[in-house]
Structure 1
Amino acid sequence: MWGGPAVPQPNGVIDLQHLTKRYGRTLAVDDLSFTVLPGHVTGFLGPNGAGKSTTMRLVLGLDAPSSGAALVNGKRYASLPRPMHEVGALLDAGAMHGGRSAFNHLLCLARTNGIGPGRVSEMLERVGLAGVAQKHVGGFSLGMKQRLGIAAALLGDPGVLMFDEPVNGLDPDGVRWIRDLMRSLAAEGRTILLSSHLMSEMALTADHIVIVGRGKLIAEETVQELTTRYPSLEDAYLALTAGSLEYGASGS
């Protein structure tokens, strides 16, 4: 299985060490350990309620673990002096101030980490939003908000990037654009953790796969290893998560 102890590397490492999170009687993340290394797109898969979003929130310091550790480059997110320069993330494309322009939304984020307006313009160009830079975010489609969220994640030129369902709301051209972007970022030596429910797209995008169910690690393997044992990545996912489905669960 792919993984093992985190080794300090310049482009970033995500290292989960016996990570556990309880909400009252609910065990959302259960003694979860895995490592995400640079130069790959790592797909993060699991049924609804499996703990994927909670795990990402723990890595980003948005929730505190009940026990264990979620580390980036060997440190907790809260201890990073300029976090946007080390970690970029898109967890919720709707979490934006609708009254701000796309440019001002990014500029407000940039200023918190000492990033200049030139980088804001550059990232808007990269995600295809330069033409609507002065338009209010509140009028954006979900797909446009996804692109803006990706621009925000890239602002600090970080070595570690985390995306939760980034293709939601995108048309086929947008989905292909996301795929090409993820692979190009990994080719630059960055660490990419990508959560998605689209197995066909994950099979085209990811190199490595981490599968969780009910907060526990189920599998941590390369796409090639999984598709050698099963007819497709979808077949592998369905077989491995068959005992972890929680119908009616509201989270991921």
Structure 2
Amino acid sequence: MIEFTRLTKRYRGATAVDGLTCTVRPGRVTGFLGPNGAGKSTTLRMLLGLSRPSSGSATVGGRRYPGLPDPLRRLGALLEATPAHPERTARQHLRALAQTHGLPDARVGQVLALAGLGPAADRRAGGFSLGMRQRLGIAGALLGDPAAVVLDEPSNGLDPDGMRWLRLLLRELAAQGRTVLVSSHLLSEMALTAQHLLVIGRGRLLADAPIAELTAANGSLEPAYLELTRDAVEFGAPR
């Protein structure tokens, strides 16, 4: 499980994440939603030890990520779509990552195939499209066959076929009993992919519920989301 306990982050008097407490459970895809500036990326950065909380904690299986002895086997993550040196091929990038973390070389070919990058494995990453860089980043996140997967806006740059691939992949990872947390602004994709939603606004938790429960009164995710976040949008259209 991934757990956030009273997680708080302040920057020079401004609060980006405000006492966030929730649990991301295995066996389902959990969508992580919120307006721009809601604190989603800051939360994920604290989970991965890239930013220090002002107070509270973010843990994976009860432990902070930086203290894990085998982090890629516990949690695989993608926070941006530029994961490789542009002069390295996709295969070289993943091999270097595998060697650094003591992972078998055979796993490189497996995740390249899983990400649909087999034909492009020996091309330099600098020539990849955004969608291909996303696939490579996801391949890297899965390299350690992790029990938990965290992806921040993984559908950026993907074409319709890539969106379908990602949707099926996330569902399969959850069906295998993994913990899957996906941040996205694409409500239509979340409606098709996620079973559970965490919604935050201005750093605070607004909803922690099954998607079916959130959409029951509104018929679809978009009106439910807009109602939840109506007072948490910093820059929005007039109502």
Aligned residue identity for 1:174: G
Map of 2:217 onto structure 1: 229
In 1, Cα distance between equivalents of 2:107 and 2:115 = 12
Partner residue of 2:106 out of 118, 123, 131 = 118
In 2, Cα distance between equivalents of 1:199 and 1:246 = 19
Aligned residue identity for 1:119: R
Structure 2: tracts of 5 or more residues without a match = none
| Residue 110 of structure 1, CA deviation | 1.0
Aligned residue identity for 1:34: C
In 2, Cα distance between equivalents of 1:133 and 1:173 = 19
Whether contact under 8 Å (2:83, 2:133) holds in the other structure is no
Partner residue of 1:68 out of 56, 60, 80 = 56
In 2, Cα distance between equivalents of 1:174 and 1:240 = 30
How many correspondences in the alignment? 236
Q: TM-score, normalization: structure 2?
A: 0.97
TM-superposition CA deviations, 1:45-88 (whole Å, max 9, x none)? 00000000010111111111000000100000011001000000
In 1, Cα distance between equivalents of 2:2 and 2:53 = 15
* Identity fraction in percent: 58
- Paired residues for 1:14-163 under 5 Å: 14-163=2-151
Runs of 4 or more, structure 1, over 3 Å off, are none
SS in 2 for 1:88: strand
Partner residue of 1:204 out of 192, 199, 202 = 192
In 1, Cα distance between equivalents of 2:130 and 2:27 = 29
Whether contact under 8 Å (2:83, 2:136) holds in the other structure is no
Q: TM-score, normalization: structure 1?
A: 0.92
In 1, Cα distance between equivalents of 2:174 and 2:203 = 26
Map of 1:5 onto structure 2: none
SS in 2 for 1:15: strand
SS in 2 for 1:134: coil
In 1, Cα distance between equivalents of 2:74 and 2:225 = 31
SS in 2 for 1:135: coil
SS in 2 for 1:229: coil
SS in 2 for 1:38: coil
| Residue 106 of structure 1, CA deviation | 0.8
Structure 1: tracts of 5 or more residues without a match = 1-12
In 1, Cα distance between equivalents of 2:169 and 2:61 = 23
In 2, Cα distance between equivalents of 1:112 and 1:88 = 15
Aligned residue identity for 2:223: D
In 2, Cα distance between equivalents of 1:24 and 1:115 = 41
In 2, Cα distance between equivalents of 1:111 and 1:67 = 35
